[in-house]
Amino acid sequence: MQPRDFNAIFSSNLNYFLEKQGHTQADLAKYVGVSTAAVNTWCKGIKTPRMDKTDKICAFLQIKRSDLFDERTVPDPSAIPDPARPVSAALTEREAEHLRRYRYIDEEGRKWVDATLDREYDRCAAEKGNASIA
């Protein structure tokens, strides 16, 4: 495969996931710690990032490396968190990361997280004498 073809595949997949998840190039640049100009070169297929940056991109988009590097007509839709449930700007970065990870795990994992969250919420509410918000 020619470098140009490789860059085009990466670019196509990156743009697809950014658009599908409602992220901008500036969002990605901030998360990865690079300039928006660098992200723009990736999105245009001029260059591809180093592997350490690729791993940060994957963490940000909650996808696998293969979702960026493998040629496909349409990237795997099961790798895309539900865009109909946007993360609120009022959340801290830590809270937003919890939501991104929650959306990535399977149904069994979500059941475990939900049960733990319910149990901990009830414990804290009881300690503080607060009524449940659920």
Q: What is the pLDDT of residues 64-111, one digit of tens each?
A: 998 898 886 554 555 444 444 454 445 666 777 787 888 888 888 888
CA nearest neighbour of 105 among 114, 118, 93, 92:
114
Q: Which domain holds residue 109?
A: 87-134
- Look at the chain and report how many structural domains it folds into: 2
Whether 71 and 121 share a structural domain: no
Whether 17 and 3 share a structural domain: yes
Whether 2 and 59 share a structural domain: yes
Structure tokens at 101: 């990870």
Whether 42 and 3 share a structural domain: yes
Whether 24 and 71 share a structural domain: yes
Whether 77 and 121 share a structural domain: no
The residue out of 45, 64, 81 marking a domain boundary is: 81
Does pLDDT of 34 surpass 90? yes
pTM tops 0.75, yes or no: no
Is the CA virtual torsion 74, 78, 84, 88 positive or negative?
negative
